[in-house]
């Protein structure tokens, strides 16, 4: 392979003072003592790699050479690494609900949940396919999402047929905003230390995500809701960490999240974070149960929590607050209990007073959970033994590859 350092330096262009030699002249300035302007010019030598550096094309590997079977190996691996897929899709908190989910005598590979661009929780159906896209998998994807009633469908495949790319783009143009379709190409390559890297290329996505991608991060955050959420976080971060929460943050849509501690008995069945969600004129704290293994199991845990903690939670809240215990709704898998505060909204709320209320509620809920653990009558993440796949060989070491922004 020819080293880049062997290339000849081109002559100055007749279209102006451009090229490597011109870069050096600008860097030296009119008197040879440096550039007269305030910008930094990149010199020719700065752009050239060391002569020992060799650059070659990426060698993409068939998925089956890394994870032999889509059903037995790839789907279980992806279900444990959804954050990699979520990062590529732009979906916050993509979290597993279940695998091999029964839908009209078919098996949906992965049922998950995520936070959408507005900060709400939506179901996500993921259908995996080795090889090239086909009509059968497209029909299954539509059926699976129709059973949820709303949310996102994600089709992960190795090769994309032009006809199916056109079909997914058409669906995104023709459907309502509550529904969206992703088409994702998955590819593998060699990584470091005998590991592999995975690369998710999003080739089609819902229109709302395209529009969001065209707005700068600063523009998306320049909203009253986000500014109010950031003000809440500034007042909540230190006291919630002191109370025992593992970490905190604010979503671009303006809600504050607090991650449950890893050693808490409740964490394996809970959504990874609790939420403080300011609305226009009100505010709420929401605790979700999403990982008990099924919608029915999530509801069962919710009932156990209500029996154990309803009185204690009621003692934490103000007299005009409302506590609701909400079973999983149609199109969703998670159950939750919500404490609604009649004031503290982002339009006219006082961040100081609202943060003090949210701190009292969240720290109090965590203290209740620690002081009186519940002996759950379900096993988190359990599945029907008849649905389990036979064990395969040990999983290879996989690393995250570069995650593109999509096309």
3-state secondary structure 269-283: CECCEEEEEECCCCE
Domain that holds residue 45: 19-50
Nearest of 112, 56, 122 to residue 84 by alpha carbon: 112
**Same domain, yes or no, for 233 and 261?**
yes
**Same domain, yes or no, for 171 and 236?**
no
Over residues 354-382, mean pLDDT = 87
Distance (Å, rounded) from C-alpha 154 to C-alpha 283?
32
Residue 382 lies in a domain: no
- Alpha-carbon dihedral sign for residues 378, 382, 383, 385: negative
**Same domain, yes or no, for 270 and 312?**
yes
Q: Where residue 303 falls among pLDDT bands split at 50, 70, 90?
A: very high
- In the predicted model, is pLDDT for residue 346 greater than 70? yes
Residue 376 lies in a domain: no
Q: Specify the DSSP class assigned to residue 67.
A: S
Residue 56 lies in a domain: no
Phi, psi (degrees; rounded to nearest 5) at 313? -70, -40
pLDDT at 295: 79
Mean pLDDT over each residue of the chain, to the nearest integer: 78
pLDDT at 50: 58
Residue 170 lies in a domain: yes
- In the predicted model, is pLDDT for residue 162 greater than 70? yes
Q: Pick 30 or 148 by higher pLDDT.
A: 148
Over residues 379-399, mean pLDDT = 43
Q: Where residue 166 falls among pLDDT bands split at 50, 70, 90?
A: very high
What percentage of the chain's residues is helix, strand, coil (to nearest 5)? 35, 25, 40
Last residue of a domain, one of 214, 246, 270: 214
**Same domain, yes or no, for 67 and 152?**
yes
Residues 6+ apart with CB under 8 A from 288: 121, 270, 271, 274, 275, 334, 335, 336
- In the predicted model, is pLDDT for residue 184 greater than 50? yes
Residue 304 lies in a domain: yes
Last residue of a domain, one of 187, 214, 241: 214
Residue 406 lies in a domain: no
- The CATH number linked to 120 is 3.40.1350.10
- In the predicted model, is pLDDT for residue 266 greater than 50? yes
- The CATH number linked to 289 is 3.30.1460
Q: Pick 196 or 118 by higher pLDDT.
A: 196
Q: Pick 282 or 399 by higher pLDDT.
A: 282
**Same domain, yes or no, for 35 and 71?**
no
Over residues 355-379, mean pLDDT = 91
Q: What is the reported pTM?
A: 0.55
**Same domain, yes or no, for 307 and 330?**
yes
**Same domain, yes or no, for 234 and 365?**
yes
Residue 391 lies in a domain: no
Give per-residue pLDDT as tens, 105-148: 677 889 888 877 666 678 899 999 999 999 999 998 998 888 88
**Same domain, yes or no, for 154 and 93?**
yes
By mean pLDDT, which of 10-14, 146-150, 306-310 is the weakest?
10-14
By mean pLDDT, which of 168-182, 215-229, 231-245, 265-279 is the weakest?
215-229
**Same domain, yes or no, for 235 and 280?**
yes
Core vs surface per residue 49-66: b (16+ CB within 10 A) or e = eeeeeeeeeeeeeebeeb
**Same domain, yes or no, for 360 and 239?**
yes
pLDDT at 334: 75
pLDDT at 55: 79
Give per-residue pLDDT as tens, 48-88: 555 677 777 888 999 999 999 988 999 999 988 888 898 88
Chain Cα centroid distance, residue 328: 21
pLDDT at 118: 62
- In the predicted model, is pLDDT for residue 155 greater than 50? yes
Please state, for a pLDDT cut of 90, what percent of the chain lies above it: 46
**Same domain, yes or no, for 286 and 143?**
no
Q: How many domains does the chain have?
A: 3
By mean pLDDT, which of 217-226, 314-323, 379-388 is the weakest?
379-388
Last residue of a domain, one of 195, 214, 233: 214
Q: Where residue 332 falls among pLDDT bands split at 50, 70, 90?
A: low
Q: How many helices (H) and strands (E) does the chain have?
A: 12, 13
**Same domain, yes or no, for 202 and 147?**
yes
Q: Specify the DSSP class assigned to residue 72.
A: I
Residue 185 lies in a domain: yes
């Amino acid at each position: 392979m020819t080293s880049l350092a062997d290339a000849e330096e081109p002559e100055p262009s007749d279209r102006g003072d451009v090229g490597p030699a011109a870069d050096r002249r600008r860097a030296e300035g009119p008197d040879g003592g440096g550039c007269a302007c305030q910008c930094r010019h990149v010199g020719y030598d700065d752009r050239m790699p060391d002569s020992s550096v060799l650059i070659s094309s990426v060698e993409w590997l068939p998925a089956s050479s890394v994870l032999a079977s889509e059903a037995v190996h790839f789907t279980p691996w992806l279900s444990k690494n959804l954050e990699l897929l979520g990062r590529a899709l732009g979906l916050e908190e993509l979290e597993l609900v279940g695998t091999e989910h029964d839908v009209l005598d078919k098996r949906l590979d992965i049922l998950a949940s995520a936070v959408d661009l507005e900060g709400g929780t939506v179901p996500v159906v993921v259908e995996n396919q080795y090889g090239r896209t086909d009509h059968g998998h497209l029909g299954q994807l539509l059926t699976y999402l129709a059973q949820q009633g709303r949310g996102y469908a994600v089709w992960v495949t190795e090769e994309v047929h032009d006809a199916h790319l056109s079909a997914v783009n058409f669906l995104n143009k023709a459907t309502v905003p509550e529904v969206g379709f992703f088409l994702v190409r998955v590819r593998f390559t060699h990584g470091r230390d005998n590991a592999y890297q995975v690369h998710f290329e999003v080739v089609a996505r819902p229109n709302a995500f395209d529009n969001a991608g065209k707005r700068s991060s600063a523009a998306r955050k320049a909203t009253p809701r986000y500014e109010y959420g950031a003000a809440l976080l500034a007042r909540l971060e230190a006291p919630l960490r002191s109370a025992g929460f593992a970490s905190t943050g604010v979503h671009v849509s303006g809600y504050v999240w607090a991650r449950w501690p890893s050693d808490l008995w409740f964490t394996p069945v809970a959504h990874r974070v609790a939420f403080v969600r300011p609305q226009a004129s009100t505010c709420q704290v929401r605790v979700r149960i999403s990982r008990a293994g099924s919608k029915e199991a999530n509801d069962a845990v919710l009932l156990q929590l209500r029996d154990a903690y309803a009185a204690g939670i009621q003692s934490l809240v103000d007299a005009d607050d409302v506590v609701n215990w909400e079973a999983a709704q149609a199109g969703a898998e998670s159950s939750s209990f919500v404490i609604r505060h009649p004031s503290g909204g982002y339009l006219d709320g006082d961040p100081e007073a609202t943060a003090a209320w949210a701190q009292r509620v969240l720290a109090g809920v965590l203290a209740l959970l620690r002081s009186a653990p519940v002996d759950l009558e379900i096993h988190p993440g359990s599945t029907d033994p008849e649905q389990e796949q036979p064990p395969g060989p040990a999983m290879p070491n996989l690393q995250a590859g570069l995650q593109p922004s999509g096309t």
